[in-house]
Amino acid sequence: SAVISQKPSRDICQRGTSLTIQCQVDSQVTMMFWYRQQPGQSLTLIATANQGSEATYESGFVIDKFPISRPNLTFSTLTVSNMSPEDSSIYLCSVKVQGEKDTQYFGPGTRLTVL
**Interacting residues with other proteins between 66 and 95 (CB under 8 A):** 92, 94
User: What per-residue string of b and e applies to 95-107 under the rule 16 or more CB within 10 Å gives b?
Assistant: bbbeeeeeeebbb
Q: How far apart are alpha carbons 33 and 36 in whole angstroms?
A: 10
DSSP assignment string, 1-30? ---EEEE-SEEEE-TT--EEEEEEESS-EE
Pick 13 or 97: Cβ nearer other proteins = 97
**Site pattern 9..48 for other proteins (x: CB under 8 A):** ---------------------xx-x-------xxxxx--x
Pick 54 or 82: Cβ nearer other proteins = 54
97 binds other proteins (CB under 8 A): no
> What's the CA dihedral at 57, 91, 87, 61 to 10 degrees?
0
Q: How far is the CB of 16 from other proteins (least distance, A)?
A: 30
List of residues contacting other proteins (CB under 8 A): 30-31, 33, 41-45, 48, 92, 94, 96, 102-109
